[in-house]
Amino acid sequence: MSGAAVRVDTTSPVPPYEQIRAQLAALITTGRLPEGERLPTVRQLAADLGLAAGTVARAYRELEAASLILTRRGAGTRVARLPTVARRREAAELAEATKDFVAWTRALGFGEEEVLEAVRRALRE
């Protein structure tokens, strides 16, 4: 996983497998873990987090059931293509957030070019 970190809070009432599943699902659906990105092996992630391999295996099984990851013998576990329903929902959320952002910038008195330049700078960072 390129720079994406998963953390587990052992004091949380949320089971560790669910913390792992939720964090990886969020990284995948937001694009921080792109399609084809290789995930650590169950044993490696378990060792990194100080957990039992079965805990990580359960998170991976649930991610696979949700079609977010694929495991192939010899090829490892990789991020799957995002389901189209989830992608459409995210596109709708992006459109709505963009409308809110544009309304806010207009209320502040910024012009189109100023807003576009600010967005371009933010995307490059």
Question: What mean pLDDT do residues 10-29 have?
Answer: 93
pLDDT of residue 86 exceeding 70: no
Residue 57 identity (one-letter amino acid)? A
- What does the alpha-carbon distance between residue 59 and residue 53 come to, in Å, rounded to a whole number? 10
Whole-model pTM: value is 0.66
And the tokens for 14? 């949320």
End-to-end CA distance of the chain: 20
What's the pLDDT band for 14 if we cut at 50, 70, 90? very high
| Higher pLDDT, residue 46 or 123 | 46
Encode pLDDT of 30-70 as tens digits: 889 999 999 999 999 999 999 999 999 999 999 999 889 99
And the tokens for 37? 């990105």
